[in-house]
Structure 1
Amino acid sequence: MEPYVGPLKQASKDLQAAGMFFMQNGMKNPNAALAGSTDFMHMMGHVCIALMWARMARVSLDALANGTPDPDFHQTKLATARYYMARQLPATAMHLARIQSGADPVMGLAADQF
């Protein structure tokens, strides 16, 4: 399960770090939370999808261990889960970096400069 659970654990830590950033900075500067809100939603989505892939991987691993009549289906599920964990889920680190950059990059332009 490590190829599926390890990346999920790291992504969960990124999500927790983003939540901590909001708690530490959002009350002082609400724009810090607002500027990162979309990235936080994306992070949450990635973590939820990864959780579902980890659960599917567990089912497929069990099915293969128990002699499933459709091993190709389960091998494909596992390959897709590995793809998601390796290629999509690391986006949580990018979203965390964007959140932690705070409000200044987002709020740096006045409305009339758009």
Structure 2
Amino acid sequence: MHIDKDLVAASATPLVLGILAESESYGYAIAKRVAELSGGRMEWTDGMLYPLLHRLERNGLVESSWGRSETGRRRKHYALTSAGRDALVERQAQWEVVHAALTRAWESLADARDGVTGGPAVAGGIA
């Protein structure tokens, strides 16, 4: 399944903040976690992930530090700041509103498809 780039872009910040709320991480592991959380349906490229991480760092939502992998390779690790935790709480609330609105809209669509109306019958079928 292809996920529209606008939807990927809209969900990128809360996804990364949520992943970093679990623990600090580095780019490849963040991209791998996104793929895992989406059941493999979202695969982020470096060209999408690193500009986002740099923007989050410029905005004070994440901070980075250099570390070493198990193999000794240098890696830049990212961690959530307190401002990032606050932003995550705000983004969660925003997405809950969006999710609820979409759910209601799609329930109405399913009801209409099944011939069920949620309101009084009106001539022409529109209330």
TM range (shorter): 0.3 to 0.5
- Larger Cα-atom Rg: 2
Q: Which has the higher strand share?
A: 2
Give me the TM-score of the superposition, normalised by structure 1: 0.40
- Between 1 and 2, higher relative CO (CA 8 Å, sep ≥ 6) is seen in 1
What TM-score do you get using the length of structure 2 for normalisation? 0.37
